[in-house]
Amino acid sequence: MPSPKTFRVLLVRHGQTPTTGQILPGRAPGLHLSDRGREQATAVARRLADAGLAAIYTSPLERARETAEPTEQATGLTAIVEPDLLECDFGEWTGQKLTALAKLREWRTVQQAPSTFRFPGGESFVELQSRMIALMERLRTAHRGQTVACFSHADPIKALLTHAVGTHLDHFQRVDVGTGSVSVIDWPARGAPVVRSVNSIDPPLAR
């Protein structure tokens, strides 16, 4: 059991979209959940309904906000739009097909040494991880001893999980975060964070 002073964050990746696994959508607007994604959002809400949430935060992008909606209905909470939960800014790579990007020389760097990479005209992985860590510091101060849900995207969640387990950012790609999954991190009042689950899709999440 976590300490009464422990802050718990439930990191939810948005549900599936029509282009999941095909396109790097980044921050481009107008991408909505697919039918499967809406089913995943409903499943997430069932899991989070009894998690004792004090607040819900969501990325501004449509696919994240739509994933949060069933949880809002299940809990009676209104999601707070949090810009720091945004997807990574992929710059010039936004909207490109993953099959085409995988042929680029830079793709190997993204996979093997992401800490050294900045997307052309966009964000670096170091900046991505730093903003997620800073966000958690703000939330754990505002919600000491409480549980919150954060609806975000694969890369921000993976970057935060990499930090929480105390491994190097270059191990970022070893973490799998599927659509509609929930990962759980506990932050005690003092001491290091504890990762309770990663890429979870089945068990209940009651505190």
Residues with a known catalytic role: 14, 87
Strand (E) or helix (H) holding 67: helix 62-75
- Using alpha carbons, list the distances in angstroms from residue 80 to 58, 87, 123, 139: 6, 16, 24, 12
Residues 32, 66 contacting (CB under 8 angstroms): yes
Structure tokens at 28: 């481009």
DSSP string, 1-30: ---TT-EEEEEEEPPP-TTTTTB--TT-S-
CA–CA gap between residue 107 and residue 119 (Å, rounded): 10
Residues 145, 5 contacting (CB under 8 angstroms): yes
CA–CA gap between residue 129 and residue 49 (Å, rounded): 29
CA–CA gap between residue 169 and residue 149 (Å, rounded): 23
